[in-house]
Structures are given as C-alpha cells and as structure tokens.
Structure 1
Amino acid sequence: AIPASLKSAITVGIGLFIAFVGVVDSGFVTRNTDDMNTTVPVSFGVGGSIVSWSGVVFVVGLVTCGILAARKVRGGLFIGIVTTTVFAVIVQAIAGDDNPESTGWHMATPDIPDSFGGMPDLGLLGEFDLFGAFTRIGFLSACLLIFTLVLSNFFDAMGTMTGLGKQAGLANEKGVLPNMRTALIVEGAGAVVGGGASASSNTVFVDSAAGIGDGARTGLANVVTGVIFLAAMFLTPLYEVVPIEAAAPVLVIVGAMMMAQIKDIDFGNLAVGLPAFLTIVMMPFSYSIANGIGIGFVAFVILQLGTGNWRKIHPLMYLVAILFAVYFGIDPIKDAIG
C-alpha cells in the first residue's frame, strides 16, 4: 500500500535519524541550554568548538571508519570501533586522570576495569502486571494507551524493516521486503517477551544498519549479535570500556550510505516530494521513526486528495492516515473523554 517514494523516504529518514543520534550522543552536536538566551536549539561542539578529548576521539573514529568503508575493507566498521576504542583508552589513561573535565566522555568512560565479569542482576525478570493499567487508569484509557504503543511499535518496526531491507538490497522491484509478515510477527513477539522480562523491547533496531554496512545479509549477524548480548550479561565491565564516541561514527557512516536512496524520489512533483521530505526530516527532528512515517503518510493522502488523485491512493493508506491522525491527537482525545 505504501508508494515507492515514501519507502525511499523512510530509508533516507532512518539514515538521517541514526546519523543525528550519532552526532548528538557523542557530543559532536550539543543542545543549547535555555539560559544561553538563544533561539538556536543546537550547536556544534561546545560554543562552536571541539573543547574536549571526547570530541577528538569522535573525529578520529569518523575519519577511520570513513576511510575503511570507502576502501570497502571487510569488517571495516568493526575495525574502526575497536581502533577508536583503543585510542580512547590511551587518551583516558594520559589525560583523564590528571584532568577529568578535559576528556568529556558522554556515556561511558574508557577505563580499564578492575574485573571483566560477574553475575547479572535478574531481579526485574518477570516483574510486571498484565492487567495493572486497566485497574489503575481505567479500561478506556488503558485501551488508548495500548493503541498508542501498538501503532508506534508497528510503524517503527515496519519503517525500520523497509529501510534496512532497501539498504541491504533485499527488497523486491516494488520495494517490498520478502516475508515481511513473518518478520513482523517475530518482532511483535519479541516486544511482548521484552515486556515480560521487564527489559527493553526486543524489537528491530536501526542499529542493524551498521551490520548491513559491513556486509550482513543472511541474518547470521543477528544470531551472532544475540549470542554476544547473552554473553555480555556476564561481561558488563568489559563492554562498558567502549565509549559512545567510538561507536557513534559508525552511525554517521551508515546514515551517509542510506542517503543514496534519495535519488529515487521525484522532488519535482511536490505532491510526491513534500510528503517524502516531511518523512525524512521529521524522523530526526521529532526523534521518532513512527512520527516521521505518520506525518509523511498523512501529508501524502491530503496532497493526493487535494490534487484530485484520490483514486491512486490505496485504501489502506486512508486507514493508516486516519489512525495516525488519532495517534497525533491522542492526548486531547483522552482529555475529552476523561
């Protein structure tokens, strides 16, 4: 049901989104605080400059990963992360102890840990109440909450799979990923299992684009990643050595790769180009894949109706646009029904 232009826009939007996540999480782009009395929401580095070693590490990682990816070195992105992590550990050992503020790490400090393993804390496993929301906030409010979560999760997953499938070259000539139904069933089941484990939702993540950028195609990379995550529960101090500044460059590189899909969008036709543009920019601007998809879908239906091309719209697109209109207005709707 989704037009080809929006499928390409979803891929490009996800690429821009993960690149934005990379530069923000690494501190390469920072949020301007309200007390700065500026209307500019973000800026480069701190005050327009790279003032910490963490920024230098990110730049080194970006250059390293970029060169390896451009030279098509097998496993180049992984090699780039390891190399940058080693550089970060050296920087921390030399500069971090004497002047901690000069390093400016944003999520994890690349210190060599005292121990490399330990038993995980599984205290939250199974700590959930299946019907608690219905008793706490009422049946109707709980149903609206479930609707919001399901719609957001589904379109996050659908958009991510569509974008990653096109990036991997697995989509067919219509831009449809084979066995999408099976993939979405597995994804939905993973979300339920994640909730039951009181853990993060076990859904498809845009980070898989990094694996695709390194050549992953068959699904074996995901199996290996899953096994490594299981092992990581017992090796938390070891993997915490890797700072976000070493991993974020990969997101930027993969985002650049995914931007190639923009050539398939006809921006000369505004009825097609504007919804595609909104899909692309609203993903990073709203920090949500689902929001970008929803705004793009609603805009596409409205513009096609406005230009007299309503017959060209698949009936499912009308339904999804209405659902997203409800989704975007869910808070006023809840207030109205009490």
Structure 2
Amino acid sequence: MESFFHMKERGSSTGQELRAGLTTFLAMAYIIAVNPSLLAAAGIPIEAAVTATCIGAGIMTILMGVCSNRPLACASGMGINAVVAFTLTPIAGGDWHAAMAVVFLEGIIILICVLCGLREAIMDAIPASLRHAIAAGLGLFIALIGLINGGIIVNDDSTLITMVSLGSMDNPGYIVALVAIFSTFVLYCLRVPGEILIGIVIAVIVGVPLGVTSAPAGIVSGLDFSTFGAPFLLDADGVMGIAKVVASPVLLMFVFSLMMSDFFDTMGTAFAVAKQGNFLNEDGTIEDIRQILIVDSTAAAVGGLVGASSITTFVESASGAADGGRTGLTSIATGVLFLVAAFFAPLVAIVSTAATAGALVLVGFLMMDQVQEIDWSSRLEGLPAFMTVAGIPFTYSISSGIGLGFITYVVVALCTGKAKDVKPLMWVAAVAFAISFFI
C-alpha cells in the first residue's frame, strides 16, 4: 500500500488518510439528500436518484484516488443539478432523459479537451496572481456555504442583496453551527489532530437534544438502477434523450454553457484542495493535474449516464485535505463510504448541514493566506484578483467568479499596455466567458 500511495513520503499514514476520508464524506454527505430532492422535480424517482447519486459518487471518487493519488472526491455538483431539474427538463418537454443527455455530451466534450491537452493548457495560461485569487475566492465561497448551511447567514429581502443578514438564536441549527465552528476553532488552536472531524461529531451530538440531529427514518434502503443509461433510454414517444438533444439547437447551446461551468468549477476546486493537500507548486501549478482532469471530465459524462446530473470534483474535498488527507487513499475511503451509503442513506442523513459548518469555515480561513501572494499594488494583478476573490462568493458561482477575473485581466492588460503579456488561451477563455455570460 505504501509503495502505491507514498503516504510516508507525503507525511501521512493509513489512519490519517482514513480519518480524512471520513471527514470529506461527512462534509459532502448532504448531497445524498439534496441531489435526489432536486432531481425529483424533474420527475426522477427518489429511490433511483439516491442510488445514482451514491453509486456515481462512490465509483468516480475511488477512480480519482486510484488514478491521481490525490485527496479529491467527486459527487453530483450543486447548481447544475438545479439547471437539470428546473431549466433543461422543461425545455426538453419534461423529458429528464434529454436533460441527462446534455450533461453526458458536455462531459464527453470536456474529456476530449483534456485528452487533447486544451484544458490543461488553459490552466497553465492563467497568471499566478489569478491562481492565488481563485484559491482565496474559493476559501470565502466554502466559508459562505458553511455559514449558510448553519443558518448563521440567512436571506433577508429587506437588504439589497440576499443572504446577508445574521441568523437568529431561535433557530436550533444556528446554535449547532456555532458549536461546530467554535469547537473546531478551539481544537485547531490547541493543535488537536483530527480537529475537523471531531468538531463535526461534537456538533452532531449537541444537535440531538436540539432536534437538529434527528433519528434516522430507517436503516437500510434498497437500490434502484432505473436511471442508468439515461441518455439512451426512450421517452413516452419512443425517442432517445440524446437524439432529442442533437436535434435541438437550444439544448445544444446548453451543452456549451454547462461545459464552461464544469470546466472552470473543477479548476477552482483543484486549486483549493491542492493548497490544503500540499500539492500546489510555488508557481501556482497543480501536481498530477492531468490525471485529475481526466477523471473529473469522465465523471461529468458518467453523471449524465447514470442519471445523477453532472458529477464533479467537490470543493468540500478541501476539508479532508485540511484534516491531513494527502493521498488517493483518502478518496478511496470517501468513495467506499458513498457506496455503503447507497444502502444506508437514512443513517447518513442524521449528519445535518449545520454540523459541517465548522469544517467549511475553518477550511475557508486556511485558504485565505493566498491573498498575501498577490501584488495588490499592481493594477494588472490586483484588479483581476479582486474581481475573482469577490466574484466567486458574491455570485455564488465558482465559474462566474473566475470568468469575471479573466475578463477583467484582459481588459486591464489592454488599458495598461500589457496586452502582449496575455497568453493566447487567456484571450480565448475571456471571450468564451463573455459569450457564456451573454447567453
């Protein structure tokens, strides 16, 4: 095992990797309940959606661990699953098979881009300042997710922007989230190993008397594979979902749109986890990025194929990396837990999103040290970096924040007479983002 994972070389151990895998799983476990609830709006049976979510995440996370040997986990991405349920399915006349076919096709196209070296080349074309900004922006985004999940930041229609008001102690989840955050902070300050996982466990226990940690609705759940092969299944009229997409210009346009989102969401997530997992080089490049991108691109296509929406590298993977995960064994442990969860989904559901707030907020803090690597006195570095750092959490979208940073970079380069310093692929990416925003 050591010869394959190189745990000692990376300052880790089997126990540390397994613990980090559990931490990542608990931080991601909400997707087992959330993804099926969203896909149900598209007409997908809950049982089938749970099976697709768990099996898809489990297989692709294990594959990520084996192929890249990095602590990255995959699951159905938030955002695209909502697009599948509330946009693509209605456009396809209520046919969720066609919606999954869109996801399948965009995954295939991204995989081709990776195999041709295009996706990796675009990442290499990104200036170091923007790479650091993406990691910092992801830190704020992760922390924001944790605060929202815990009810500490809530929606307030009286303010200019939603989700900018402080929550209330009347909400038990708010109390659990505070316990999760500050217990994790205390453990971190005391340098207690496994502080993130311990913080989650403490919050789950505190949530029992408060009613936040509920008793499981059951123990064992059955499997339903009826969504597998979704793009090639027939609708009521006997038409394959993928055939419907190919014949629809509107659905084909969404293939491009989702491709842009998946393309750069993964890039941002990889930077975030690489920082925590110590495989981000000094120049901002990521070790083993090609293997990571190949698995991630394959995962997107597999998500559409099994009917789980696009499966992508999860930013919550950073919680396991921050908890000591350094190798693919962390991912394998997380993946196995997802496969087990397919049979025991009711038990996994007792870990509330509030209980994981501490993990996400601490990870956000740890990632903010990237801002010191940016030369804020430079207009060409500072302005695009700011738009990226602010854009990711404020738009609640990794790809949108990255797009704002890219577009700002080329505009500032033009204004400061440094256009010749911008690599050609940065121009291509900025134009692609501009088109995507317009669409």
Contact 2:150/2:176 (8 A) holds in 1 = no
> Within 2, Cα distance between the matches of 1:61 and 1:187?
31
> Within 2, Cα distance between the matches of 1:324 and 1:208?
26
Residue identity matched to 1:120: L
Offset, 1:188: 0.5
Correspondent of 2:185 among 40, 62, 66: 66
Offset, 1:285: 1.1
> Within 2, Cα distance between the matches of 1:250 and 1:282?
22
> Within 2, Cα distance between the matches of 1:12 and 1:127?
37
* 1:31 is aligned to 2:155: yes
Q: What is the aligned length?
A: 309
* 1:80 is aligned to 2:189: no
Which whole-Å deviations, capped at 9, do the CAs of 1:155-193 have from their partners, x for residues lacking one?
A: 111121122213322122321112212211110001111
> Within 1, Cα distance between the matches of 2:316 and 2:155?
23
> Within 2, Cα distance between the matches of 1:82 and 1:167?
22
Offset, 1:44: 3.4
Alignment match, 1:214:
323
> Within 2, Cα distance between the matches of 1:120 and 1:69?
39
Correspondent of 2:383 among 268, 274, 288: 274
* 1:55 is aligned to 2:208: no
Alignment match, 2:299:
190
> Within 2, Cα distance between the matches of 1:25 and 1:114?
21
Aligned residue runs from structure 1 range 137-148, under 5 A: 138-148=247-257
* 1:41 is aligned to 2:41: no
Residue identity matched to 1:216: G
> Within 1, Cα distance between the matches of 2:438 and 2:173?
40
Structure 2: stretches of 5+ with no match in the other structure: 1-124, 234-239
> Within 1, Cα distance between the matches of 2:276 and 2:418?
30
> Within 2, Cα distance between the matches of 1:58 and 1:156?
26
Contact 2:230/2:241 (8 A) holds in 1 = no
Contact 1:57/1:88 (8 A) holds in 2 = yes
Residue identity matched to 1:127: A
Offset, 1:111: 1.7
Larger-Rg structure: 1
In the TM superposition, structure 1's runs of 4+ consecutive aligned residues that sit over 6 Å from their partners are none
> Within 2, Cα distance between the matches of 1:25 and 1:143?
34
Alignment match, 2:402:
293
Secondary structure, counterpart of 1:203 in structure 2: strand
Offset, 1:213: 0.9
Aligned residue runs from structure 1 range 240-255, under 5 A: 240-255=349-364
Which whole-Å deviations, capped at 9, do the CAs of 1:262-285 have from their partners, x for residues lacking one?
A: 100111112211110110111111
TM-score of the aligned structures, taking structure 1 as reference length: 0.86
Offset, 1:137: 8.3
Contact 1:15/1:255 (8 A) holds in 2 = yes
Alignment match, 2:224:
121
Alignment match, 1:8:
132
Secondary structure, counterpart of 2:154 in structure 1: strand
> Within 2, Cα distance between the matches of 1:280 and 1:138?
39
Classify 1:209/1:141 alpha carbon distance in 2 versus 1 (closer, same or farther; 3 Å).
same
> Within 2, Cα distance between the matches of 1:168 and 1:32?
36
Correspondent of 1:161 among 270, 276, 279: 270
Residue identity matched to 1:19: A
Classify 1:3/1:320 alpha carbon distance in 2 versus 1 (closer, same or farther; 3 Å).
same
Classify 1:57/1:194 alpha carbon distance in 2 versus 1 (closer, same or farther; 3 Å).
same
TM-score of the aligned structures, taking structure 2 as reference length: 0.67
Alignment match, 1:177:
286
Residue identity matched to 1:44: S
